[in-house]
Chain A
C-alpha cells in the first residue's frame, strides 16, 4: 500500500521512528528479550530504527560482538538495529573500551547505560578520546552515592509507602558534572532518559551557552508520575481519581530513573516544546517475570516500552501539552541528528490515532510484559511499518484483514 493511499484513508503517515535507547537483552538474557523479538516489537511501536544498549552478558565491548549483533539483526528482518558499545571495558567503569575500533565495526555510540561512569576523571578521558573522531557518548546521569539503595522517586509518595527514595538531586548533580566535563572537553554528549525539572533547566542553559549537549526523555516519564507506584493509574494530564486504584508496590512501575513528580513531568514536556529535549527514546527494558514477580525492592528496574510509546505520546498531544509536530520531530529528525545519520526515506509508518486497544500480555510481542499499562485501554496504534521499502508490519488496518507481524 502506498503512503498517499493510507493518508487518504485517515491514517497519520510519518517517517519511521528512531529509538536512541532500547535494551534487547541478547546476548545473555534471552529469557527477557532477543534481538529478533525486540526488533519485531519495535515495528509494532512504529520504530524502524532502534539503538541497542550494550549492557548484555557479555557487555558489548568488542568488534566481534558488534558484528554478531548486526548479523542477528539483519536475519530478524524487524526494525533496523544500530549497536551501541560500552564506554568502559566490560562496563566495569575502570578502563576505556577500544572506542575507535568499535566505531569502525559499526557502533553508533558509546554508553555504559544501566550505570553512569562514576569516575569523573575516567569520564573526562572518555569524552576527550571520543572527541578526536567526534564519537557520540550517551550517559546515564546518576550520582550513585545520592541514589544509594533508592527504588523510587524520593518525595511524598516514597515517604508514605516507606520505600527508599532516589532524590532528583541524584540526576541533577550528575547532569551538572557531565555538562561541566562536556564543556571542558568540547566533546558532544548525549544525556539519556532525563527525568527531572532541574536537569532540564541545566541542559537548557548549557545549550544556550553553546555546549554540545543533547538529551532524550522517555514516554513513561512523560506520561506517569511517582503516584503510579502507590497505585494511581491516571496519566499526568488526567485529574487524579481516588477510586479505581491499582494495588500499590507493583514492580512494573519500578524503573531507573524513577517515575517522578508531576512538576518534573511538566518540565519534560516544556523541554520538548522549546527544543531543550532533542529526542524521545523508549528505554525499552524488558524483563522476565522471574526478575519482576518479586518484592518491590528486590525487583529489576525497567519498563517494556516500545509498543506503548505512541499512544502515551498521543495522550499528551490531545491534552495540549505539546504539538504533534514537536513529538514527531523528537521521534524522527531529532534522534537522527543526535546520531549524525540521515533518516532512510523509505522507512515509514502509518498510525491510526483513534483506534482503542487494551494492553495485555498477549497484545505485546516483546517478551517483556513488564508494563504498568497492562489492563489500560489506550488510544492510538501503529498499523503499518515499512523498512527500506519493504512492508515489515501490517496489523489492524480498517476494512482490511489483519496480517500480523511477519
Chain B
C-alpha cells in the first residue's frame, strides 16, 4: 500500500488498509527498538517540532524518543514558560513554527480541532498528539497494535471502553481505529459522561452503549479503562468518586467476567483505586506497560511514513 497522508489529524476517515500499514510498520520499529544500539537513520536531517500547548510528559517523551531513535533533530515548544502561556495566539505560534521550518509538527492542544487550524497554515506535516476531547490518533493506533499483539486478528473481537467517554479523545480514537479493524466496541460508564447522541440511537457504527459494566464485560475480549478527571465530580456530573468506583471501577471480580486472559488496558496516567484497582492495573491481564513501549514504536512508524528516507531521497 502506498502511503499518501500528509498529516495525522484524526483516524476517522482512515481505511482498514491504512491502519494496517501503520501497524505493520510499527512491527518493524519494534525490531529497531530491540537492537543493542537503538538508532536508525531514516529521519537524519529532519526536524521534528514538539509543540505541546497542554502539559503532557508521557506523550511528549514518547514522541521525542521516537524522533531521536530515527535520528531526527528535535525542538521543544512546551506550554510552561513559553509564549503560549503568556497569551500568544495560536495564529502567531503557527507563523513562528512555519518560519522555523520544521518538517513535522507534533502538537498537543486543549482545543478540539486545533491541529486542523495548524495544518491549514503550515507546510509541515502535522501529527495530532491529542486535541481537546476530539482525538489522540497515536493512542488509538498503539492500542490497536497492543490488542492485535494480544488477541491476533481483531475481527469480531468485542472490546469494552469504560469511563468518561464524553471528555475522552482516547475513546474517540480507539473507536475510529478498532472498528475499521473489525472489532466491536461496548461503551460503558455513567450516562452523564456519555454523549447523549451515543446513548440515544446515534452511536458510531460498530459501537453500543451498555451502562451496566458487569453486563458489558460478560464474555468480552478486552477492556480499556479511561482516566477519570477528578473535577467531573465538582461539575455535577458524578455524585462521588467512591460511587463511581463502586459502579464502574475495574476490579478483579469484574475483569474475570471477560474471556479467560482477556487483556486490560489504560492510556495512563492511572488513578489507581478510582477507575482501576491496583491489583488489576498490575495484574497478569494488564498490558499497560506494553502500551507505553508500543507507543514509541507507533510514533516512529508515523514519523517514518510521513517524512522518512524515501521522501528524502526523492528530493
Q: Which residues of A come within 8 Å of B, CB atoms?
A: 154-156, 158-165, 167, 247-249, 293-298
Contact = CB atoms under 8 A, between A and B. Distances in A.
B255 to A, nearest CB: 27
Nearest to A242: B13
B111 A296 contact: yes
Contact of B134 (A156, A162, A165, A247): A162
B112 interface: yes
Contact of A297 (B111, B196, B204): B111
A158 B134 contact: no
Contacts of A161: 112-113, 134
Given A156-B202, A160-B204, A249 B113 contact: yes
A158 B166 CA distance: 10
Given A161-B134, A162-B172, A295 B196 contact: no
Contacts of A163: 112-113, 132-134
Contacts of A165: 196
Given A163-B133, A165-B196, A249-B114, 20 more contacts: A154-B196, A155-B196, A155-B202, A159-B195, A159-B196, A159-B198, A161-B134, A162-B135, A164-B133, A167-B196, A293-B91, A294-B90, A294-B91, A295-B90, A295-B109, A296-B112, A296-B113, A296-B114, A296-B117, A297-B112
A296 B115 CA distance: 11
28 contacts: A154-B197, A155-B196, A156-B197, A156-B198, A156-B202, A158-B195, A159-B166, A159-B197, A160-B12, A160-B204, A162-B132, A162-B135, A162-B172, A163-B113, A163-B134, A167-B196, A249-B112, A249-B113, A249-B116, A294-B117, A295-B111, A295-B113, A296-B111, A296-B112, A296-B113, A296-B114, A297-B111, A297-B112
Contact of B113 (A154, A155, A156, A248): A248
Contacts of A160: 12, 172, 204
Contacts of B89: 294
B204 A248 contact: no
B91 A162 contact: no
A221 to B, nearest CB: 20
Contacts of B114: 249, 295-296
* List of 5 A-B pairs having minimum Cβ-Cβ separation, nearest first: A249-B113, A162-B133, A159-B195, A162-B134, A295-B111
Given A293-B91, A297-B112, A247 B120 contact: yes
Nearest to B12: A160
Contacts of B266: none
Contacts of A164: 133
A115 B195 CA distance: 26
B158 interface: no
B117 A249 contact: yes
B169 interface: yes
Contacts of B169: 162
B129 to A, nearest CB: 15
Interface string B215-230: 0000000000000000
Nearest to B120: A247
A328 to B, nearest CB: 37
Interface residues of B, number: 26
A154 B198 CA distance: 11
A159 B116 CA distance: 17
Interface in B106-155: 109, 111-114, 116-117, 120, 131-135
Nearest to A229: B113
Contacts of B131: 162
A10 B167 CA distance: 55
Nearest to A289: B91
A111 to B, nearest CB: 31
Contacts of B113: 161, 163, 248-249, 295-296
A42 to B, nearest CB: 30
B203 to A, nearest CB: 9
Contacts of B195: 158-159
Interface string B67-106: 0000000000000000000000111000000000000000
Contacts of B197: 154-156, 158-159
A402 B90 CA distance: 41
Interface in B165-212: 166, 169, 172, 195-198, 202, 204
A247 B9 CA distance: 11
B146 to A, nearest CB: 23
Contacts of B117: 249, 294-296
Contacts of A296: 111-114, 117
Nearest to A231: B116
Nearest to B109: A295
Contacts of A156: 197-198, 202
A155 B199 CA distance: 11
Nearest to B133: A162
Contacts of A297: 111-112, 132
B296 to A, nearest CB: 25
**Residue from B109, B120, B131, B196 with most neighbouring chain A CB atoms (10 Å):** B196
Name, among B91, B111, B116, B131, the residue most crowded by chain A CB atoms within 10 Å (CB to CB).
B111
A252 to B, nearest CB: 12
A133 B91 CA distance: 50
A56 B183 CA distance: 54
B111 A298 contact: yes
Nearest to A295: B111
A248 B198 contact: no
A165 B91 CA distance: 25
A164 to B, nearest CB: 8
A229 B100 CA distance: 31
A159 B134 CA distance: 9
Contacts of A295: 90, 109, 111, 113-114, 117
Contact of A162 (B112, B116, B202): B112
Contacts of B111: 295-298
A247 B135 CA distance: 15
A21 to B, nearest CB: 28
A297 B116 CA distance: 13
Contacts of B166: 159
A297 B113 CA distance: 9
Nearest to B166: A159
Nearest to A293: B91
A155 B196 CA distance: 7
